[in-house]
Chains A and B, each alone.
Chain A
């Protein structure tokens, strides 16, 4: 039989280092901007315009939008962190606020530190209380600066963005070019927006004081994308030819990217009736030999679990992404959490092999599908990718050179030529590696049936015979044996920072950037800290992790869930019990200050520190528990817990 097999030499390792390369120092000046308004006020598009404008002037950004599950109204709070050094998270504070409605002005003005500023349409809004000391009120007379805003209120956003560009110390060229490309098909709109932006820019120059921190344009060009878009593009570049999904937040943007690009990239993209159908179709396509992927969130993934086991026993490669949101059940659909790890471990009945990967950043979302496809095809197993709302819906700037790559493709042992030998083909041949060369249906002379019942090497069911303990055990052992080499195929985690540090921060998945930054803050605070981040959760690199943590003086596990799902996994796999735990399950992501405060608490004797995002601007305190207008001032109350 003919085999085509190509093993990329250390390919996964090379790409993991590419992420590390992005780990820049944090010495450049930075500004954190909050844009707030109701859904429909144009928060996202104002933020996007700002990020793209700065990216074209060489400034990197990280964005995270805290929003509600409403189409119109409610409160949406987009935080954007800008610096010439790529920011790894949203940071700890806000330096400037663009308030698009009164609610935002009321909620968030109080969060500003001395030197901060708040921009708003002075013709429509005015502060309900005195600003904190040293905070500059930047009221823009929008109707005078932009008469068109009387007809089209959303023009106020462009005025504010123009003003902010001036206050950040940048010229307006980046903004002009973004407006030109955004409204390329409507020249009149381009012109009126450029005029509005220029009016805001000039007004700020004449009337406001720039903050002490100023940004400087650089020559670096940045791309900007969400984790979901990077998943989709990364998968397409890794040879994904079949994508199927059912809409579910926060995974839907992957489907939309694929739908938009299906025709150009020749990818079959289908939206189907439910996640049961999704995963079974994906496995059906994977079984025929195409690289096949699907994505959902926890509730949809729950529906997929029976079929994940099918992929295990019929040995079909498939990749399923679970973009975690706060659960259980419907939970908080627009909020982030890392609490589906147990679900991923336990997806489907019986013993079988799966790989679980949690990418570390938006940029890593781009790399992960190719690693997932390679390991899925090489080992003929299902691969689960765990993302979360923070990483999938948040976005960051990426060095475009990191996206301009040709991924190495490892299809494993695939039989494509006719059977030249007299030996019958055995689809599930009991090989020393446990991997049985896979003939794709359609290949002449290799007929077989894949059964979800237990089957023998030739595929014939053994489930219906009276009993056959020998063959049953042989087939389970064959599938298990595949796993003996997977941990060597996947790159082991590496410790970041001095080996002899007092504190080891241990996290998994999307908390990477925040922990890198927190470790730096801790070192600056005189607490010697190192950091270990786990991407490959199953199988766990037990040997390497045990060696690292065996030398750790104090291991503190940070995870965005209530029960410590990873801590339990680590204990089960390595016997290691962490010294402290920092956990968060309030729907919002960790910020570096939460980790710093939590570590101090652990050092002071706490075993488990539960963190709460308690800035008053985040609170609703609506009597019915539904989201409504902010109910009043809470200056000083609970707001400085982590300052």
Chain B
């Protein structure tokens, strides 16, 4: 999808406040890709709302120059959904980590995809709880030793891509913060996708995850765009989503060729002006009709 808007300088999205992530954190690449993608799409900072939950990665709105909300742990998607419904003219991007989105916020993640709200969800997946200094996450591999699984993780690992596809998400992608240009392309497509778009990003935690490191990912990831993968083939896409061994796919894994309309495009109240610009007044005749229903 091409955009009519003219690309702007990525610096317009860069605030004075520098990120306070650990040096080498994967989240720098995630943030940088957002500068590039929003600039390439010609977005206005005042027309973008970035909503996050809580966690290292959820500090991102503070390091991105737009309107932003740093909400509650796990609740970025409900907040972003309410915000998008209230003002459909804004580009709404939700960001957070794997604990935030796939742990405490998992129900909202599934429901948001089922609901198909036009929000782009960027998950910085480092397979560990970083801000709380290294506990097991829903995406930690089975057997992984962490502070709270000293004998190894007994639980299975959540597969966000397969879950997203099963939940009706029409745009399912995975990036790697070590591949910034590729990541930027995924963001651009995700933001332009009319409906919920998931971009799960491998964003290594250099401090607390000594297993899933940059070299670990570099050895394994490959771009589905460089294969004969057809992202519009649901079954082929599900096969890719389930791949997790010596080779791990990144890229646009699934795009529904016939996507369901997004909830914000269906809701009868949102067909004209954005809600926030609609007047408050109800015509006296309508008011009297409402009273008459009680008589």
Q: Please give the residue numbers on chain A whose beta carbons come within 8 Å of chain B beta carbons, in ascending order.
A: 52, 55-56, 221-225, 229, 233, 236-239, 241-242, 244, 261-270, 272-274, 276-278, 280-292, 306-307, 310, 314, 398, 400, 403-404, 406, 409, 440-453, 460-461, 464
**CB distance B70 to A242 under 8 Å?**
no
**CB distance B294 to A223 under 8 Å?**
yes
B278 smallest CB distance to A (angstroms): 6
Show 17 A/B contacts (Cβ-Cβ < 8 Å), sorted by A: A261-B290, A265-B282, A266-B268, A266-B272, A269-B269, A272-B78, A273-B107, A280-B82, A284-B82, A284-B83, A285-B86, A286-B86, A310-B71, A400-B294, A449-B70, A450-B68, A461-B62
A124 smallest CB distance to B (angstroms): 34
Task: Annotate B204-247 by CB proximity to A: 1 below 8 A, 0 otherwise.
Answer: 00000000000000000000000000000000000000000000
**CB distance A55 to B86 under 8 Å?**
no
**CB distance B71 to A464 under 8 Å?**
no
- CB-CB under 8 A from B17, the residues of chain A are 460
> Which residue from B49, B87, B272, B295 sits with its C-beta under 8 Å from A224?
B295
Task: Annotate B78-92 by CB proximity to A: 1 below 8 A, 0 otherwise.
Answer: 111111111101100
Total chain B interface residues with beta-carbon distance under 8 A: 57
In the complex formed, the residue of B with least CB distance to A451 is B70
A297 smallest CB distance to B (angstroms): 20
**CB distance B61 to A452 under 8 Å?**
no
- CB-CB under 8 A from B295, the residues of chain A are 52, 55-56, 221-224, 400
**CB distance A447 to B82 under 8 Å?**
no
Contacts A267-B269, A283-B82, A404-B291 known; A441 to B49 CB distance under 8 Å? yes
- CB-CB under 8 A from A461, the residues of chain B are 59, 62, 70
- 10 A-B pairs with least C-beta separation: A284-B82, A239-B280, A281-B82, A449-B68, A280-B78, A288-B86, A223-B294, A441-B67, A285-B86, A451-B70
B26-70 CB contacts (< 8 Å) to partner A = 44-47, 49, 51, 54, 59, 61-62, 65-70
CA distance A263 to B61 in the complex (A): 35
- CB-CB under 8 A from A276, the residues of chain B are 75, 78, 108
- CB-CB under 8 A from B275, the residues of chain A are 241-242, 268, 285, 288, 290
**CB distance B85 to A452 under 8 Å?**
no
**CB distance A452 to B107 under 8 Å?**
no
> Which residue from B75, B89, B267, B287 sits with its C-beta under 8 Å from A237?
B287
**CB distance B286 to A225 under 8 Å?**
no
- CB-CB under 8 A from B9, the residues of chain A are none
**CB distance A284 to B80 under 8 Å?**
yes
**CB distance B276 to A440 under 8 Å?**
yes
**CB distance B87 to A288 under 8 Å?**
yes
In the complex formed, the residue of A with least CB distance to B89 is A442
B88-115 CB contacts (< 8 Å) to partner A = 89-90, 107-108, 111, 115
**CB distance A277 to B111 under 8 Å?**
yes
CA distance A261 to B292 in the complex (A): 14
Q: A288-B276, A451-B61 given; name 19 further pairs at CB < 8 Å.
A: A224-B294, A233-B290, A239-B280, A241-B276, A241-B280, A242-B275, A263-B269, A265-B286, A268-B267, A273-B111, A277-B81, A280-B78, A287-B82, A287-B86, A403-B290, A441-B46, A441-B49, A448-B67, A450-B68
Contacts A233-B290, A242-B86, A464-B20 known; A280 to B71 CB distance under 8 Å? yes
CA distance A222 to B108 in the complex (A): 44
- CB-CB under 8 A from A238, the residues of chain B are 280
CA distance A266 to B268 in the complex (A): 7
Does B248 touch A at the CB level, under 8 Å?
A: no
CA distance A448 to B46 in the complex (A): 9
**CB distance A289 to B282 under 8 Å?**
no
Does B72 touch A at the CB level, under 8 Å?
A: yes
CA distance A10 to B59 in the complex (A): 43
- Main secondary structure on A side of the interface with B: mixed
User: How many pairs of A and B residues are in contact by the CB < 8 Å rule?
Assistant: 201
- CB-CB under 8 A from B54, the residues of chain A are 452
**CB distance B46 to A444 under 8 Å?**
yes
CA distance A406 to B286 in the complex (A): 12
- CB-CB under 8 A from B61, the residues of chain A are 449, 451
Contacts A237-B287, A242-B86 known; A280 to B75 CB distance under 8 Å? yes
Does B158 touch A at the CB level, under 8 Å?
A: no
- CB-CB under 8 A from B47, the residues of chain A are 442
- CB-CB under 8 A from A291, the residues of chain B are 280
- CB-CB under 8 A from B267, the residues of chain A are 268, 270
**CB distance A237 to B282 under 8 Å?**
yes
> Which residue from A229, A290, A445 sits with its C-beta under 8 Å from B276?
A290
- CB-CB under 8 A from B263, the residues of chain A are 270
Task: Annotate B240-281 by CB proximity to A: 1 below 8 A, 0 otherwise.
Answer: 000000000000000000000001000111101001101011
> Which residue from A284, A290, A440 sits with its C-beta under 8 Å from B81?
A284
A240 smallest CB distance to B (angstroms): 9
> Which residue from B79, B86, B284 sits with its C-beta under 8 Å from A289?
B86
Contacts A289-B276, A409-B280, A447-B66 known; A244 to B82 CB distance under 8 Å? yes
**CB distance A280 to B68 under 8 Å?**
no
> Which residue from B83, B107, B278 sits with its C-beta under 8 Å from A266?
B278
**CB distance A263 to B268 under 8 Å?**
yes
Contacts A265-B286, A268-B85, A272-B78 known; A223 to B291 CB distance under 8 Å? yes
CA distance A306 to B17 in the complex (A): 28
CA distance A447 to B13 in the complex (A): 11
Contacts A447-B45, A447-B67, A451-B70 known; A225 to B294 CB distance under 8 Å? yes
In the complex formed, the residue of A with least CB distance to B85 is A268
**CB distance A449 to B86 under 8 Å?**
no
- CB-CB under 8 A from A286, the residues of chain B are 82, 86
> Which residue from B82, B111, B115, B294 sits with its C-beta under 8 Å from A285?
B82
B120 smallest CB distance to A (angstroms): 16
**CB distance A452 to B68 under 8 Å?**
no
In the complex formed, the residue of B with least CB distance to A278 is B78
B74 smallest CB distance to A (angstroms): 8
CA distance A5 to B111 in the complex (A): 38
In the complex formed, the residue of A with least CB distance to B63 is A449
- CB-CB under 8 A from A445, the residues of chain B are 46
